[in-house]
Amino acid sequence: MNRLAEVGQSSNNRYMDALAALDTDVPISTLVDRVCCAVDWEGRRVRALRPWEENDRLLLKVISRGEFAVGGLRNRDLLPLLFPEASSLPLEQRRRYSARVTRKLRMLRAHGIIRKVAGTHRYVLTRGGAQTTTAILHYQQVSLAQLERACA
């Protein structure tokens, strides 16, 4: 019973962190600049995130879905959302798509957007990752007129 309560509480905490991501006074440039540079992670170079490119924008949209805020996400969960055509392919080609998702997860981990849940194959958004993805996705939907009104 204690373990069940612990799991439930951690799930509630992750959900509340996701909601709190919008409540910050940090400038968007501060959030975005740190992920738009290549980093060295575990002895390997990891490319910069390109939030205005279609593939990376789709990745950010997918990982910030509400269903992943509570239970976390896995490679298996992301594969049909990022590559819908993969389900109808032979096993050999599905593995290639799965490897692509693995590399995307590694990139997100290297930039601190997600973290691995110990002892599982699941990942959860970090607090900074939730702020960064929310900022990027919302900023891309704002018009120049809306920005001008907000600054005035």
pLDDT at 14: 67
Q: What is the pLDDT of residue 152?
A: 65
Per DSSP, the three-state class of 26 is coil
What is the pTM (predicted TM-score) of this model?
Answer: 0.77
- Strand pairing report for 44-46 and 39-41: antiparallel
CATH number for the domain that contains residue 39 = 1.10.10
Closest among 33, 67, 35 to 49, alpha carbons compared: 35
Domain limits for position 139: 2-151
Alpha-carbon gap, residue 107 to 96, rounded angstroms: 17
Burial 3-22 (b: 16+ CB within 10 A, else e): eeeeeeeeeeebeebbeebe
Distance from C-alpha of 62 to C-alpha of 68, rounded to nearest angstrom: 9
Residue 18 · residue 125 · CB < 8 Å: yes
Predicted pLDDT at 20 = 60
Q: Which residues of 109-123 are buried (b: 16+ CB within 10 A; e: fewer)?
A: bbbbbbeebeeeebb
- Looking at the structure of the chain, the number of domains it has is 1
Split the chain (152 residues) into runs of 10 and give each run's mean pLDDT. Answer: 78 66 66 84 92 91 86 91 89 92 95 92 90 84 76 69
